[in-house]
Amino acid sequence: MKIVLTHAYFIHEDIKEQKIMRPYPTLGLLYISAFLKENDKNVSLIDSTFSSIADWRKEVVDEQPNIVAFYTNLMTKVEVLRQLDYLKKALPNTTFVAGGPDITYNQENYLRAGFDIAVIGEGEQTMLELTEVLITGGDLSEVAGISYLENGVLRENESRTKIKDLPSLPFPDREAIPFEKYLKVWQEYHGKRTANISTQRGCPYTCKWCSTAVYGQSYRRNDPARVVQEILHLKEDFGVEALWFVDDVFTVSHKWLSNLHAEFAKFQLEIPFEIITRAERLNETVLRQLKEMGCFRIWIGAESGSQRIIDKMDRRVTLGTVQEMMQRTQKMGIEAGTFIMVGYPGETHEDIRATMNHIEKCNPDHLTITRAYPIKGTALYAEIEAEITINPDWQTSTDRDIRFKLPYSDAYYENAIRYLVNGWQAHKNKSLKNKVKSKAAYQMMRVGK
């Protein structure tokens, strides 16, 4: 039985990504590919990132697969559904499977859109068992972690037990994709051959806007020795020069980090890398260890400069702690980045002004601002579901397009983002031009209230 894994993301169609050029391969598919191959399955991973749609379609169809399994997420869903429609006509006898973070709370939508089976949660063991059942013509009801339509009715099997022994998994199958293309893009645009790497599954925190659809609210960590072996593999076999750790909270366990630091020292390993973490999981010892291992950038979330809004988000951190750790990070010689969200339920004009004050106190090296949007399955979505005012057609939109009752207009929040971004740049670079832009945006905010 021939299996094709793919994802239908095309960088030539992503205008925003073309401006920053920070592409990474989809680790979830790479893990599944490696796991299936380890269990002697006939699998091809067709990476679409650098392909044209026509070339990608031809490559998939030429394989004449029995199974095509798509990874899909919030931002790729619309394209995945478009390509599913084409492939079902070109491959009428193929079973189509959908998996990824957008599936758990939208499984019936995906099945009614044309997928035969939805994989819920982690995919390695589920895809292996599903493949074996399809080979033998067995009973789908025996495969944990999937759903499907039976006589037009949703059939959701029991949940899959999460993988506890992460070191038992093979390294992601980077050999299956044009990995060199990713590395060359990073070298050309950012100076170093950079790869993404994961050491953690799940997150123990309960931020209301954050989705835990794949790994759940758990905390499982790879062994530090195994992590270092993967890094050495990346350096020696692919010439990787820098890393992006994709873990939600890299420093959640100080004991684990100390062991990782010891493993780095054991192999005299130092490699530039960036991470995401929480302010209260940093201290002087942690920052020193990170610096010694090669960390050059830490993203520290706060999401708002209003303690009231942070508490509504269930972030469980204080503004003072965020500001202090941002400053300590920079004093350690590590860049500090932060995330800000505007338009959270209950946020007022005064809260946004407080956020500007917070940004100036933090003075981050990097700032990412987004408008709050409710992802299905999150606590935020549950809170605002009854107040949704615009809920576009599911197949042609994303959760970002959902609108719910807020005190101000869309124009207000667009100007709020301009106000904050330009205010940050004015403060950081002492830029009169950005100061003028920030003030202008602030005035437009007042008009749009």
- CA dist 65 and 67 (Å) reads 5
pLDDT digits (tens, 9 = 90+) for 425-438: 999 999 999 999 99
- CA dist 284 and 83 (Å) reads 50
109: in domain: yes
Is residue 48 within 8 Å of 8, Cβ to Cβ?
yes
Partners of 4 in beta bridges: 44, 68
Confidence of residue 449 (pLDDT cuts 50, 70, 90): low
57: in domain: yes
Model pLDDT, residue 144: 98
Residue 217 has pLDDT above 80, yes or no: no
User: Could you give the C-alpha distances from 377 to 63, 132, 349, in angstroms and in order?
Assistant: 36, 30, 28
Tokens of 406: 């807020």
- Cβ contacts of 253 within 8 Å, gap of 6 or more: 219, 221
96: three-class secondary structure by DSSP: strand
309: in domain: no
pLDDT digits (tens, 9 = 90+) for 333-359: 999 999 999 999 999 999 999 999 999
Model pLDDT, residue 333: 98
60: in domain: yes
Residue 146 has pLDDT above 90, yes or no: yes
Tokens of 388: 């949704």
- Cβ contacts of 245 within 8 Å, gap of 6 or more: 196, 197, 198, 199, 273, 274, 275, 276
Model pLDDT, residue 44: 98
Q: Fill in the amino acid letter for 90.
A: A
Partners of 368 in beta bridges: 339
Confidence of residue 256 (pLDDT cuts 50, 70, 90): very high
User: Could you give the C-alpha distances from 127 to 5, 111, 160, in angstroms and in order?
Assistant: 10, 17, 11
What mean pLDDT do residues 93-110 have?
96
63: in domain: yes
Query: Rounded to 5 degrees, what are φ and ψ at 91?
Result: -130, 70
- Cβ contacts of 412 within 8 Å, gap of 6 or more: 445, 448, 449
Across the chain, mean pLDDT equals 96
Is residue 434 within 8 Å of 411, Cβ to Cβ?
no
Residue 143 has pLDDT above 70, yes or no: yes
What mean pLDDT do residues 233-262 have?
98
What mean pLDDT do residues 382-403 have?
94
Query: Rounded to 5 degrees, what are φ and ψ at 163?
Result: -70, 120
Q: Helix H segments across 25-160?
A: 27-38, 53-63, 77-90, 107-112, 124-136
210: three-class secondary structure by DSSP: coil
**Residue ranges making up the domain that contains 89:** 2-156
Total domains, the chain: 1
- CA dist 182 and 178 (Å) reads 7
DSSP code, position 250: T
Is residue 156 within 8 Å of 107, Cβ to Cβ?
yes
Model pLDDT, residue 409: 93
CATH value at residue 30: 3.40.50.280
247: in domain: no
What mean pLDDT do residues 282-306 have?
97
Helices (H) and strands (E) in the chain, counts: 16, 17
Confidence of residue 160 (pLDDT cuts 50, 70, 90): very high
How does 362-394 read in b/e, with b if 16+ C-beta sit within 10 Å? bbbbebebeebbbbbbbebbebbeeeeeeeeeb
Confidence of residue 448 (pLDDT cuts 50, 70, 90): low
Partners of 404 in beta bridges: 388
% of the chain beyond a pLDDT of 70: 100
267: in domain: no
What mean pLDDT do residues 220-238 have?
98
Residue 223 has pLDDT above 80, yes or no: yes
Tokens of 5: 């894994």
What mean pLDDT do residues 97-109 have?
96
Q: Fill in the amino acid letter for 173.
A: D
A 10 A CB-CB count for 336 gives: 22
% of the chain beyond a pLDDT of 90: 95
68: in domain: yes
User: In terms of Cα–Cα distance, which of 202, 199, 145, 211 is closest to 172?
Assistant: 199
